[in-house]
Amino acid sequence: MMSRLWALGLLTAGLLLPGCDGEKRPAAKVNLEEQNAVMAFAMSDQLDANELAGAVTVVVGRDGILGMEAFGLADIKSSRPMRKDSVFWIASMTKPMTAACVMMLVEEGKVSLDDPVAKFLPAFKGQKLLKDGKLVDPARAVTVKDLLTHTSGLTSAYATPAGQPSDTLPLEKMCDLYAGQPLRYEPGTQWSYNNPGINTLGRIIEVVSGMPYSDFLETRLLEPLGMTSTTFWPDESELERRALPYAKDKESGKLVLSKTHTFREPYSDPSRTAIPAGGLWSTGRDIARLCQLMLNRGEIDGQRILRPETVALMTRNQLGDMPKVSFTPGMSMGLGFHVVREPQEVTESLSPGTFGHGGMHGTQMWIDPVRLRAYVLLVQRANFPNSDASEARRIFQKAAVETYGR
């Protein structure tokens, strides 16, 4: 206990933090308003063990943010501290927002969950299934619901060559490439995480709405929620607040700067394709707004964004007892959201029916409809063995429930 209290003192004073070389190095002093001690204390061992460089944590209730902390470093080399307004690549946490846009079109009667994808994207018409080494007709066509639940059977391959940025092709071209590949299994029969399926949903949004996917997302979701720092193209001021991504070196155990091949630089270039499956950058405050919307069943600040029945549909199990769903035990799948069916291990502190999504670099957002709390963890750790099952997530959620539980 004494060692953890000592570590906490260093964290909250902003004096010493782990560096890339494994030695203690001085860090810039931080205003104590940036470092409330509760989560910093709970996660101090994670920082000491070089599991994380730093983090922003947020606990959200129906009326807004209940607790928000920033601790550790956003940039180890320069000793730049993590701040509450630090900007993170949230990667696959983009997916629920894409799903919400699709469900707006469902509410308007312009899309049905049972519609075949080919109704909107003709390139998918007549798509074949690869079975026992032969191309055959599938039992049925891929539907919009299949895309939302990761049960489409679409190729899992990127549209660009390995190691090349995935934001160089427009969505239309990406989807033509997906459509040209045979299905890997019968639609609706198994769960397999699928980025191409979510990107295809983005293209459907474009075709049905008559506007670019990014514009639809901005005008129908981000602007109404006031998510002013959520973007596919972070500008100079946002990049200055960026939390840099780190990976843990397997041999030395040190944190080393990581680089993603997902995007081409500069990140601020608006000619880069907005990737529906994982292209957004955001902040703790902005993600809290999305969580607040979902806690209030689609309404926020007196404005209705989604119908209550739509939120209920998105956040309940859509796959029954289908085995091997999601990335941790006891999970099921809604429409764009993963759903906790039986809390255990990393989800032990959450209620049954909690829903959310994670991102490649360890970011997490989980909304508990029983406790009426949401838990947001923002980190940039590139090589967690399983970003949804990180010890950092388990520790944070446990501490958050104990501190802010009803």
- H-run or E-run covering 293: helix 284-295
Confidence of residue 53 (pLDDT cuts 50, 70, 90): very high
Average pLDDT over residues 154-162: 87
| Alpha helices for 189-269 (secondary structure H) | 195-209, 213-217, 223-225, 236-240
In this predicted structure, the answer to whether residue 37 has a pLDDT above a threshold of 90 is: no
Q: What is the DSSP code (8-state) at residue 364?
A: E
The number of angstroms, rounded, from the C-alpha of 299 to the middle of its chain's C-alpha atoms is 21
For the chain, the domains span 96-218
pLDDT single digits (tens) 79-113: 999 999 999 999 999 999 999 999 999 999 999 99
**Cβ-contact 79, 30 below 8 angstroms:** no
> Residue 174: which of 150, 188, 195 has the closest Cα?
195
Confidence of residue 259 (pLDDT cuts 50, 70, 90): confident
Which pLDDT belongs to residue 61?
A: 97
Average pLDDT over residues 190-196: 98
**Cβ-contact 123, 180 below 8 angstroms:** yes
Which pLDDT belongs to residue 201?
A: 98
**Cβ-contact 376, 332 below 8 angstroms:** no
Query: Looking at the DSSP assignment, which residues form a beta bridge with residue 329?
Result: none
The pTM of the full predicted model, rounded to 2 decimals, is 0.91
In this predicted structure, the answer to whether residue 12 has a pLDDT above a threshold of 50 is: no
Average pLDDT over residues 239-264: 94
Percent of the chain scoring above 90 in pLDDT: 87
Confidence of residue 160 (pLDDT cuts 50, 70, 90): confident
Within 13 Å and on the Cβ side, how many CA atoms surround 19?
A: 13
- H-run or E-run covering 247: strand 246-248
In this predicted structure, the answer to whether residue 34 has a pLDDT above a threshold of 90 is: no
**Fold entry, domain 96-218:** Beta-lactamase (3.40.710)
Average pLDDT over residues 361-378: 98
In this predicted structure, the answer to whether residue 335 has a pLDDT above a threshold of 60 is: yes
Which pLDDT belongs to residue 36?
A: 59
Q: The tokens of 177 are what?
A: 């490439």
In this predicted structure, the answer to whether residue 268 has a pLDDT above a threshold of 90 is: yes
Average pLDDT over residues 260-270: 91
Confidence of residue 406 (pLDDT cuts 50, 70, 90): low
